[in-house]
């Protein structure tokens, strides 16, 4: 009697065990599937957010500055360097900057300052950089360096005083 019950019990226990395992597998399958769908959704959503954020930046820069999108992106990291010009010369004498950076030449000398690219007197190395004007003591001249290269310059009024700007 006890032998027969054991056999029956063993059979049903085995069957229930198999059903339980199948249910676990099915639940597990749907759990993993729903998780990957959720991850896809998360990735897609964050990409869309990034896209719209980028568009917002471009549009506002384009509106504010009236310049192309490519240029407006650079404006975010544009730096301004100051070079002081005294009766002793330009300080710092050499400067390394990135394309798009601005250099502000400040005239702290007792005379005029006319920043010009080398060579003197033709100023042909980087004509766009030529100040083509004279600022007196206290005046400033700013230039945005867009062209990569090593640009030497001088004060056209005192050609022996100069410096070099390297644009990466």
Interacting residues with Cu ion (CB under 5 A): 116, 120-121, 156
Tokens standing for residue 41: 């959704």
- Least Å distance, CB 61 to Cu ion, is 37
- Least Å distance, CB 77 to Cu ion, is 32
Closer by beta carbon to Cu ion, 43 or else 132 = 132
- Least Å distance, CB 140 to Cu ion, is 19
CB 100 within 8 A of CB 143: no
User: What is the helix, strand, coil percentage profile of the chain, to 5?
Assistant: 45, 30, 30
- Least Å distance, CB 58 to Cu ion, is 41
- Select the residue whose beta carbon is closest to Cu ion and give its number: 120
Which residues in 112-140 are b (16+ Cβ under 10 Å) and which e? bbbbbbbeeeebebbeebbbeebbeeeee
CB 137 within 8 A of CB 110: yes
Closer by beta carbon to Cu ion, 71 or else 130 = 130
Closer by beta carbon to Cu ion, 73 or else 157 = 157
* Separation between Cα atoms, residue 131 and residue 133, nearest integer Å: 5
Closer by beta carbon to Cu ion, 121 or else 138 = 121
């Amino acid at each position: 009697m006890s032998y027969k019950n054991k056999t029956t019990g063993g059979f049903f226990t085995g069957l229930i065990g198999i059903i339980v395992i199948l249910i676990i597998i099915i639940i597990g399958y749907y759990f993993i599937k729903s998780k990957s769908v959720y991850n896809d959704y998360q990735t897609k959503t964050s990409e869309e957010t990034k896209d719209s954020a980028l568009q917002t930046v471009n549009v506002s820069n384009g509106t504010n500055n009236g310049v192309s999108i490519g240029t407006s992106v650079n404006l975010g990291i544009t730096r301004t360097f100051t070079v002081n010009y005294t009766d002793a010369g330009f300080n710092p004498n050499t400067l390394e900057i990135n394309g798009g950076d601005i250099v502000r030449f400040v005239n702290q000398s007792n005379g005029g300052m006319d920043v010009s690219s080398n060579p003197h007197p033709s100023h042909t190395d980087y004509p766009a950089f030529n100040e083509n004007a004279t600022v007196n003591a206290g005046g400033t001249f700013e230039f945005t360096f867009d062209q990569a290269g090593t640009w030497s310059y001088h004060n056209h009024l005192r050609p022996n005083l100069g410096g070099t700007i390297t644009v990466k």
